[in-house]
Amino acid sequence: MKKFQVQKYHSKHTALWNEFVAKSKNATFLFHRDFMEYHQDRFQDFSLLVFDENQQLIAVLPANKVEETLFSHQGLTYGGILLLEKTKLSEVIFILKSIFEYLNALGFKKLIFKEIPTIYNQIPSGELKYLMFLMQGNLTRRDVLSVVDLKSSFTFSRDRKNGVKRGIKHNLVVKEESNFDSFWNEILIPNLAQKHQVKPVHSLEEIQYLHNKFPKNIRQFNVYQNDTIVAGTTIFETDLVAHSQYISGNSDKNELGSLDFLHDYLISNVFKNKNYFDFGISNENQGRNINEGLLYWKESFGARSITQDFYEVEIKNYTLLDNVLL
C-alpha cells in the first residue's frame, strides 16, 4: 500500500496551496487562500496537504475543526478533496486512507464532507462519492441546484419572456459595477431583513474585499430605471459556470420584470459562452423542503436539477478501505 505524508496547513504553505488549486481538476477560486481566509476569525482552520514519497503535493483538503469533528470547510459553498487531473481512483483511495489515519491519530471522530457539484469540475471527479460508499458514509443532506445547460437547446417560459418584455417597456438598463454599496444597502439587506429576518452571508465590506481580490470572478450587475437601482445580482464566475450568489429586486420587481430582464441579459449575452448558469438551491430545512415559487422561477429559464450531497463519516471507518483493490 502506498503511504503518503499528511500535514496541517500553515501560512508557509500559502503559495504552494494556491499553485495547487490553480491546476486542480476540481477546484475553483473559492479554495484560494485569499478567499478562504476572509472569514478566518469565524472558523478554526484545519486544512490538510497530502505529499507523496517524493514530497510532491498531490492533494489538499480545505477544512475547519469543531471539537472532534472535521468539516470540509463550513465557510465554503462546496468542498472535498482537491485533486490533480492525472490522479487516478486507486491513488485517491490511499490518499483518503492516509488522511483518515492522520485524523484518527489526532483524536478526531467524524469528518463531514460537502460535495463539489459536478458542473464545477474540469474533468470527471466522482472519487469521493464512491469512497463515501465504501466507508459507510451517512448521507445527511442533499440539495438541489437549478442549472441551465448553456450548451443545450433551452427555452424561457412564456412568463419569463413576458417579464423580459416588461423590462424593455419600462426602459430598464443593466450595468456591471465594481461598487457593491447600492445593491447591498438599497436592495439586498432590506429585502433579506423584511422577508427572512437575516443578513447576507457576506457583509458589504467582505464582498467588496473579495471583489477587489477576485475582480474577474466576483461581479456585480445592477438594474436601473431612470438611474434608480431596482434589482441586481452578484455573480461568482468560474471557468465553466456563472453562479448567481445573490439575487434581489425591489417591491416592483414583478411589475417591472427587472429580474427576468437581468437574467435574460446575463444568460443570453454576458455568460453565453459558459457551460452552465447556476441559479443555486431553492432548498430549506437541510434539503428536505423546496421553496416552490423560487424553484418555478428558476426552472422557467430552462434550468434543470442537479444535486449536491453532504456526508458524515466516522474516522475509524478508514479500515474499510484496506481490501478494496483486488
Residue 147 located in a structural domain: no
pTM of the complete model: 0.95
On whether both 161 and 134 belong to a single domain, the answer is no
Does residue 326 lie in a domain region? no
Closest CA to 231 of 205, 255, 198: 255
- Please report, for the domain that includes residue 35, its CATH number: 3.40.630.30
Does the residue 254 lie in any domain?
Answer: yes
What pLDDT sits at residue 1? 58
Task: State which residues form the domain around 108.
Answer: 5-142+308-321
Could you tell me where the DSSP H helices lie in the chain? 14-23, 33-36, 89-105, 127-134, 158-169, 181-182, 189-196, 204-213, 253-256, 258-265, 292-299
Dihedral through CA 186, CA 287, CA 279, CA 297, nearest 10? -80
Closest CA to 102 of 190, 5, 188, 11: 5
Per-residue burial over 248-276, b if 16 or more Cβ lie within 10 Å, else e, is bbbeebeebbbbbbbbbbbbeebbeebbb
Judged against a pLDDT cut of 90, whether residue 320 lies above it is answered with: yes
Asked whether the predicted pLDDT for residue 279 surpasses 90, the reply is yes
The DSSP string of 36-48 is HGGGTTTSEE--E
Q: What is the mean pLDDT of residues 237-253?
A: 97
Residues 123 and 163 in one domain: no
CA 124 to chain centre: 17
CA–CA gap between residue 16 and residue 21 (Å, rounded): 9
Residue 281 forms part of a structural domain: no
Counted domains in the chain: 2
In the block, residue with C-alpha cell 459556470: 241
In a domain? residue 236: yes
What mean pLDDT comes out for the span 165-172? 98
Region 306-313: mean pLDDT is: 97
Note whether 20 and 61 are same-domain residues. Answer: yes
pLDDT, tens digit, for every residue of 178-199?
A: 999 999 999 999 999 998 888 9
